[in-house]
């Protein structure tokens, strides 16, 4: 592997930062001029942190900084493992990580899409002429920066539309912390770094189970607190019957919050008709800065079209976005939730169904948003 200069080295206390001159692990799927691993069988879903080849000794540091940094890294890793053991939460390295598909930044968008479709992935890492990480390209980027702007896939290099210097996360970061970083940044993928090398690409779906587990633990504590408050009410003779009591309000709002608590009234959702073209849907996604569109049939969600659908069902199949109708490539009859659906239940629905977009209906059964 090629190592970064001092500016690219990671300090042991950093959990997530911009990638600058990060090397790619030998375990990654690098594509050279003769072709790469895009067309081969899907890699193992196990963690690939052990896939990196033997490391060369990096440039020596003066004044003992190298030894101090090593000791600090070991201390940080020990603290992280201890915290993980105490809380019962997994670190990113313990998730079933996937090898990152990696291609040079001069590759065309068409070739990138072809390789992404062959590997059934919706994101690819990009490297510069020194084989150092310089960007990331996702299905959303392809939809909103290429298709919606009507650029030619065969003539557009990925460097023109990629996200430069993406944030990354360390392998010993808690999965829920990585999830929080992705939610706050409004993106779904994070390169995973271990020992200064990029070893995998983390998808937000990998963190859903950990988010569910944390919320269930909080709900369990909430039930104990609510039971204690209920006992106090009974002791003082306060009635606890009926749905409008203090205990019920405490239990529902604090420990079993619904989607209405996280969906604002001015939330925007891209809505298209089955007869609209994929190009029209892409332009609406670009306008609202979203990665999916609800297909409305008689004012109800009859289907959903995501940026992944556009990648896999349109581009990979060589269908023209300007003439392909949404109804031909959408996912029909998607699962839905309502604004009164508990957040935990919505997370379970997405985790069990293995999808990341869930239409949310208001009480009048009109689509108001998506998770």
Give the residue from 166, 143, 151, 140 showing the smallest Cα distance to 108.
151
- Is residue 353 within 8 A of residue 335, CB to CB? The reply is yes
- Is residue 367 within 8 A of residue 296, CB to CB? The reply is yes
Q: Where are the beta strands (DSSP E) in the chain?
A: 16-18, 22-23, 29-30, 101-104, 123-127, 132-138, 163-164, 167-170, 189-194, 197-203, 271-272, 292-297, 300-306, 331-332, 337-338, 359-361, 367-370
CA–CA distance, 295 with 271 (Å, rounded to integer):
6
CA–CA distance, 114 with 259 (Å, rounded to integer):
37
pLDDT of res. 329: 97
Pairing status of strand 189-194 against strand 197-203: antiparallel
Quick: pLDDT tens for 254-283.
456 888 888 877 788 999 999 999 999 999
| Mean pLDDT value across residues 164-189 | 88
Higher pLDDT, 206 or 297: 297
Q: Which of 60-64, 71-75, 317-321 has the highest mean pLDDT?
A: 317-321
Q: Which of 73-82, 202-211, 238-247, 351-360 has the highest mean pLDDT?
A: 351-360
Q: Which of 175-179, 218-222, 262-266, 272-276 has the lowest mean pLDDT?
A: 218-222
CA–CA distance, 38 with 265 (Å, rounded to integer):
43
pLDDT of res. 120: 93
Domains defined for the chain, CATH in brackets:
92-206 (3.10.580.10), 270-361 (3.10.580.10)
pLDDT of res. 285: 96
Give the residue from 133, 132, 1, 131 showing the smallest Cα distance to 56.
1
Give the residue from 52, 43, 5, 23 showing the smallest Cα distance to 198.
23
Quick: pLDDT tens for 321-353.
999 999 999 999 999 999 889 888 888 888 888
DSSP β-bridge partners for residue 314 = none
Mean pLDDT over the full length of the chain: 74
Report residue 219's pLDDT band, with 50, 70 and 90 as the boundaries.
Answer: low
- Is residue 135 within 8 A of residue 106, CB to CB? The reply is no
Higher pLDDT, 285 or 371: 285
pLDDT at 168 over 50: yes
Quick: pLDDT tens for 121-142.
999 999 999 888 999 999 999 9
């592997």: which residue's tokens? 1
Alpha helices in 39-170 (DSSP H): 65-87, 109-119, 139-141, 158-161
pLDDT of res. 252: 52
Q: Which of 36-50, 70-84, 321-335 has the highest mean pLDDT?
A: 321-335
């Amino acid at each position: 592997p090629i190592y970064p200069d001092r500016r690219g080295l990671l300090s042991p206390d950093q959990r997530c930062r911009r990638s600058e001159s990060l090397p790619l692990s030998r375990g990654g799927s690098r594509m050279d001029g003769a072709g790469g691993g895009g067309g081969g069988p899907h890699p193992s879903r196990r963690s690939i942190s052990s896939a990196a080849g033997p490391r060369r000794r990096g440039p020596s540091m003066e004044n003992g900084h190298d030894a101090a940094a090593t000791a600090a890294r070991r201390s940080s890793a020990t603290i992280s493992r201890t915290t993980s053991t105490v809380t019962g939460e997994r670190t990113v390295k313990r998730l079933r990580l996937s090898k990152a598909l990696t291609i040079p930044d001069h590759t065309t968008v068409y070739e990138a899409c072809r390789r992404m479709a062959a590997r059934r992935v919706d994101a690819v890492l990009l490297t510069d002429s020194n084989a150092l990480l310089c960007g990331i390209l996702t299905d959303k980027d392809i939809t909103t920066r290429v298709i919606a702007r009507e650029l030619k896939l065969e003539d557009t290099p990925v460097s023109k539309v990629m996200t430069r210097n993406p944030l990354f996360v360390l392998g010993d970061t808690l999965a829920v912390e990585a999830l929080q970083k992705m939610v706050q940044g409004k993106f779904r993928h994070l390169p995973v770094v271990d020992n200064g090398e990029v070893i995998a690409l983390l998808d937000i779906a990998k963190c859903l189970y950990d988010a569910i587990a944390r919320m269930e633990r909080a709900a369990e504590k909430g039930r104990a607190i609510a039971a204690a408050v209920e006992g106090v009410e009974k002791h003082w003779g306060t009635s606890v019957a009926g749905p409008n009591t203090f205990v019920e309000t405490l239990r529902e709002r604090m420990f079993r919050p619904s989607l209405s608590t996280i969906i604002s009234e001015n939330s925007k959702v891209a809505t298209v008709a089955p007869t609209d073209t994929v190009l029209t849907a892409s332009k609406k996604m670009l306008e609202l800065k979203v990665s999916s569109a609800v297909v409305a049939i008689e004012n109800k969600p009859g289907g959903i079209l995501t940026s992944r659908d556009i990648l896999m069902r349109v581009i990979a199949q060589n269908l023209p976005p300007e003439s392909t109708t949404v109804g031909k490539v959408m996912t029909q009859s998607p699962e839905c939730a309502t604004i009164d659906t508990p957040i935990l239940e919505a997370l379970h629905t997405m985790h069990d169904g293995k999808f990341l977009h869930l239409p949310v209906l208001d009480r009048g059964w009109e689509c108001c948003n998506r998770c």
